[in-house]
Chain A
Amino acid sequence: MPKLYACIISPAAEDPHGLMAVARDFSYSIEMLEDGVVFDVSGLERLVGKPRLIAEKILEQLRSQKIPGSIGIAETVDTASLLARQKKGLEHVIHLPDSFQKLPLRDLEIEQDTLNVFHDLGFRRVEDLLAIPRDELIRRYGGEFERVVKTIEQQGERLLTPNVKENHVAWAYDLDFPVEDFEQLIFILNHGLDKIFAEVHHHGFSTEHLDITFRLQNKTGRDYEIKTSFPTLDKTFWLKLINLRISMDSPEAGIMAFRVTAYFTKPRPAQRGLYAVSRPEPESLLLTVGKLKKLVGVDNVGVPVILDQRLAQPFALDADALPKGKEKIEVREEHSVIAFSYFHPPVSAEVLVRDKRLIFIRTRLFAGHVREYSGVWKSNSKWWDRSWKTQEWDVEIDGHGVYRLCKVENDWFLAGEYD
């Protein structure tokens, strides 16, 4: 069902109570702007009629409250506010979506340089831009211009951010008898999430943060904070995530009561475009990472990070991070290097050294003569509390591979292979 938004731009916006009162007569989802108010009037078509009639009703209310203002009504927040702003200051004017095409380009928040180019080309109104191919516009003026194209096509992605005092909603449930296994409570939680998500949605918000509090049989409490990197009201997703989180660290006693709190967040706009590259859906990625952590351990799934230290293994795994899918501005040419592959645990070795030269190596994997080697290398970043004990060589073994050979005190081992 298409959405419909109304925007009132008024010189009386400094005193917002009057405007809020007018908006409340038509909608529960209201956002105050610096110079007016925008509110969701979707669904009023059935009660009142066409957008023009809705706008006239709003106008009547404004007149009755003796508030001057111009009204814009359109299917997106951006379009409604642009329409309402076009003749700021005039009293009681209605702007319908049809008049959007006549809007001058200077009202669209386009950079001055681009506006000058348009002016030179003879484009002055939205309808002039709509007459030329949009792909060509984006190609010429870059990705930033996509936003302008969406605005002129009345497909703006800006969402309404209602002004409400509450920042969370909660739901609680007391059980008749203690339950050991949380999975048995999923169907009750399902019912609870239905209720609180309906309330969150009613306020025009979404959520990316749930708190779950258990009252346990042993008179103690247990809190779980569950956060995602994106707002969503997908109940199935939240149930899976909650179940995963609690199964990784279950309460130590039977559950007597629980309470769920959802914190409000601005909903996310649809971000996937026609040319979006391959990425898992955020919900799917988060759930998969949760499942993997349950399988292989919390510290074994994450994003690799390089440490700025001269250590034998100067990297770590950031278990709290998720892959971002960030696009690099300058893509390097195809590039290959000899990769290194670690042995875990390192393979112990017996090494024959003659005249300070490496001659022969025997390990549980192979035995062979050293054909070439380079070294000795040393690596240690924390020299103040550790001596430079580890010595390294790169060695090529006859009939086998190229390895990194290490010596710590009198023990030799292979750290890994070049591959």
Chain B
Amino acid sequence: MGNLSLVKSLSHLQEEQKYTDEVVLERWGIAFLRGGLAEIAGEPSSGKTSLPLTLLSQLTQTGEICAVVDSANSFDPCSAVLGGVELENLLWVRCGGDLEKAFMSADMLVQAKGFGVVWFNLNGLSQKQLRMVPKTYWYRYRNRIKETPTIFIVTAAEPIVGSASQRSFSFTRDRALWSGVGRYKLLREFHLSCHSRKGSFSQNRGTRDNTSIPNANPSNISYLPTAFAVPKLSHRGTISGLGTVSERRSRHFSGTPLPIKIEFDYTEI
């Protein structure tokens, strides 16, 4: 019976997180836990890059220093500026498609402590290569990050982090909205669906919140097997933003913010 004393209580696991505050993206209806690892997966053109940019925008504007590990040199600073990111507060690390260097870079940034967000962008790397990454890497990040105020975000085409992530969202695109006729069309909006595979949506869930969502407070469930504990939640939204023809062509010059409309329709599935 004495061996039982070696088993840590579940409450201990919950307390290991030093920072418990969340950064809430109200329009997206998603909250990110500081000192936590979050995963965003999605097919092409599903908004998985727009979401980290929104988070970077929110934190860099308040003076926090954030970092992007750009595994496949796919990061576009112009989109970041249009999304409101303060580039002066952003550290950009280009890894040129080298997976090993990307993982080592992310590790160094986590060890530096104090970054607001470390965005580990794995878009553009082959899924076959990513699936070969040992899961222990992700647990290493999770362990390193828990005592820091950093939000560690991983984006990839498919979920790869597994049970090491505290939050996991997958995005799909319902449709892309185009305006105009004939040759004079413009890409206007993406209508997206977001599925929470793990963790919860924020309590403040956007502009059209008519649906009640079961309590999925992660502070109560983070240590339980996720497949059973977390209800599958979903919400739908649109991201828009390519404006008129003149705006579309002038974005490289002026970096003028484009009009944006996001409305979410929450449903439980």
Contacts and interface: CB of A to CB of B under 8 A. Distances in A.
Given A336-B260, A343-B124, A418-B45, A310 B252 contact: yes
B113 A326 contact: no
Interface in B102-138: 104-105, 108-109, 111-116, 123-124
Contact of B47 (A280, A325, A343, A419): A419
B233 interface: no
B252 A314 contact: yes
Given A324-B88, A419-B47, A291 B176 contact: no
Nearest to A312: B252
A314 B78 contact: yes
Contacts of B173: 401
Nearest to B254: A308
Interface residues of A, number: 65
A284 B65 CA distance: 13
Given A277-B62, A289-B91, A336-B28, A306 B76 contact: no
Contacts of B92: 301-304, 317
Interface string B218-244: 000000000000000000000111100
A125 B32 CA distance: 48
B124 A344 contact: yes
A330 to B, nearest CB: 9
B91 to A, nearest CB: 5
Contact of B93 (A296, A314, A344): A296
Interface string A296-337: 100011111110111100110100001111111001101111
Contact of A374 (B74, B79, B150, B185): B185
A280 B123 contact: no
A334 B57 contact: yes
Contacts of B95: 296, 300
B78 A338 contact: no
Nearest to A419: B49
A280 B48 CA distance: 26
A336 B27 contact: yes
A228 B61 CA distance: 25
A174 interface: no
Interface in B16-55: 25-28, 42-51, 53-54
B75 to A, nearest CB: 8
Contacts of A13: none
Contacts of A339: 49-50, 53, 76, 79-80, 83
A323 B44 contact: no
B112 A337 contact: no
Contacts of B81: 306
A130 interface: no
A279 B116 CA distance: 7
B239 A338 contact: yes
A338 B242 contact: yes
Contact of B150 (A278, A317, A340): A278
User: Which interface residue of A308, A324, A418 has the most chain B CB atoms within 10 A?
Assistant: A418
B187 A296 contact: no
B115 A277 contact: no
B61 A416 contact: no
B101 A288 contact: no
A335 B83 contact: yes
B64 interface: yes
A281 interface: yes
B108 A288 contact: yes
Nearest to A344: B73
A374 B248 CA distance: 11
A402 interface: yes
B96 interface: yes
Contacts of B183: 374-376
Contacts of B248: 377
A288 B109 contact: yes
Contacts of B190: 338, 402, 418
B63 A279 contact: yes
A240 to B, nearest CB: 13
A63 to B, nearest CB: 53
B101 A295 contact: yes
Given A325-B63, A396-B176, A334 B86 contact: no
Contacts of A323: 65-66, 88-91
A301 B76 contact: no
A339 to B, nearest CB: 4
B65 A419 contact: no
A147 interface: no
A292 interface: yes
B159 interface: no
Contacts of B87: 303-306
A308 B57 CA distance: 21
B44 A308 contact: no
A342 interface: yes
B124 A328 contact: no
25 contacts: A277-B63, A278-B116, A279-B116, A280-B112, A285-B65, A291-B108, A292-B109, A296-B94, A296-B95, A300-B93, A301-B93, A304-B75, A323-B65, A323-B90, A335-B84, A337-B241, A338-B242, A339-B50, A339-B79, A341-B74, A374-B178, A375-B183, A417-B44, A419-B45, A419-B46
Given A281-B114, A337-B79, 12 more contacts: A278-B116, A279-B116, A288-B108, A301-B92, A302-B92, A304-B75, A315-B78, A326-B88, A327-B61, A338-B50, A344-B96, A419-B45
3 tightest A-B CB contacts, nearest first: A401-B44, A327-B63, A401-B45
Interface of B: 25-28, 42-51, 53-54, 57-59, 61-66, 72-84, 86-98, 101, 104-105, 108-109, 111-116, 123-124, 149-150, 173, 176, 178, 180, 183-187, 189-190, 239-242, 248-249, 252-253, 255, 257-258, 260, 262
